Every structure is written in C-alpha cells, then in structure tokens.
Amino acid sequence: MWASSPGAWRSFASSRGKDGDVVFNPIVHGLIAWALAHVVATDRRTRLWCVIAALVPDLDGLGIIFGPQVYQRYHHVLTHNVFFGLAVTVVSARWIGRRPAALVLVFASFLSHVVGDYFGSGEGWSLWPFWPLSSFEVLNPHAWPFVSWQNNVIGFTSVAVTLIIAVRWGRTPLEFFSPGLDRSVVDALRLRVRATPCATCESRATARCHACGRAVCRQHVATPTYRHLVCAGCPAV
C-alpha cells in the first residue's frame, strides 16, 4: 500500500519487522544484481559496483549493534532511499566511468534491493523512499514473510540464473575473489553440460587444465587446488 500522511515523518520509528524478520537474504540481493549486470555487455568493475549497490542498503541494519530499538527505527530508512542510491551511483562513476548504461545498471541494482524488501521482508516494514526530504511512506500490507515459498523461489531462481550465466558467458560471482577458482567452476559446469570426455582416459571430464586447456577427469588432475589447475603430465609445463 502506498500511503503518506502529515504524521508519517514522526511515526517511521514504529515501522518494524515481524518476529525478527529482517530483509531479503543479502546473497540473493547480490546474485540478482550480478545477473542484472548482464542485461548489456559490462566489464568486471561495473558488475562489482552493481553488486555493491545491491548490498549497501543494508548498512542501516548495523543499528542492531546499538540494540533492537535503534535497528527497528532506522533500518529501511537511512540507506533505503533514492538519494542514497543516487549517491552510490555517483560514487561508482569514479571507477566505472561516466557511461550512462553502466550507471543505470548500478542504480537499477540498488532499486532491486528496495523492491525486494518491499515484497519480501515480512509484514510491518515501511519504506521511506524519499527520506530525508519527504515523509512519504510506502507499506506493503501483503508483503511475504521472510521465510516464505516466494522468497525461496526467488532465491533458487537467482542461483539457476547464475549457473546459466556461468555456462553462457563464462563467469560466476567468484570472479571478484579468485579468477582461478572462477575459471575452474565455469569449466566444470560447461564440461558437465556438454558431457566432455577426459583427454587421457575417456572418462567424463570434470576440469580443464589452466596451462594446456585439456579436459581431464579427477584422476588426472595434478594440482590439489582449483585456483591453478594443472593436469597430470601436462605438455605445457
């Protein structure tokens, strides 16, 4: 329900979750934003900033450090408004450049978090999208419980889309933490989908050598880590 009233500015402190329900799972927020960043061709920095923009709204949830009353008063208020989203988008331009398409994706990723909270944070959570300049309040009386089949479906779908992107575009969110591990995960998924045989023994391949590119099964992987995978008897080593 979209509502606004003269007393809304003073009453936002009463907006709170139900039985400890808080927000959409942060991992799901991040996966949705990362997938959204593939709507158009993007570089890794743009994808990273899309994920950041989808996660930073929950900074106002750190109020829990000062107790549940502070948390209930300021969560969904301080960093869940369009002005904060615009600020994050402006800051991102320092790293991704002043490219309209990229900046739109960053801001859209921020909004994806707010929309997710509107539908899936449970009853009783108001949003103040134009705070601090307006007391306009948004409350969804039909919001899903935090633990609900709707949120589960969205969570599983975000994972499925991530796997599809991995096979189609050759990357996963691991690209931000370990390029080598990211490559190994992508190779494993692609080899499984395509039922590629091992180059040595004709068993089903589960990995691809980072040095020579050969597809190999587990028995013919020489290195213990998938961050830099080398096959047994690699001709490139």
C-alpha–C-alpha distance, residues 15 and 30, integer Å: 25
Percent of the chain with pLDDT over 90: 52
Average pLDDT over residues 28-41: 95
Q: Which amino acid is at 98?
A: R
HSE-up (13 A, CA, CB side) for residue 181: 8
pLDDT, tens digit, 9 for 90 and up, residues 87-130: 999 999 999 999 999 999 999 999 999 999 999 887 778 889 99
C-alpha–C-alpha distance, residues 225 and 46, integer Å: 29
C-alpha–C-alpha distance, residues 172 and 21, integer Å: 29
Assess whether pLDDT exceeds 60 at residue 38: yes
Q: What is the pLDDT of residue 204?
A: 92
Percent of the chain with pLDDT over 70: 89
Q: Confirm if 76 and 126 have CB atoms less than 8 A apart.
A: yes
Assigned token pair, 93: 């331009």
Q: Any bridge partners for residue 65, and if so which?
A: none
> In Å, how far from its chain's centre is CA 107?
14
| Of the listed ranges 8-17, 37-46, 222-231, the one predicted with least confidence | 8-17
Residues contacting residue 117 through CB under 8 Å, at least 6 positions apart: 23, 24, 57, 76, 80, 125, 127
Q: Confirm if 89 and 53 have CB atoms less than 8 A apart.
A: yes
Q: Confirm if 75 and 40 have CB atoms less than 8 A apart.
A: no
C-alpha–C-alpha distance, residues 90 and 166, integer Å: 29
Q: What pTM was estimated for this model as a whole?
A: 0.83
Q: What is the pLDDT of residue 224?
A: 65
**pLDDT confidence band for 11 (50 / 70 / 90):** very low
Residue 216: its H or E element: strand 215-216
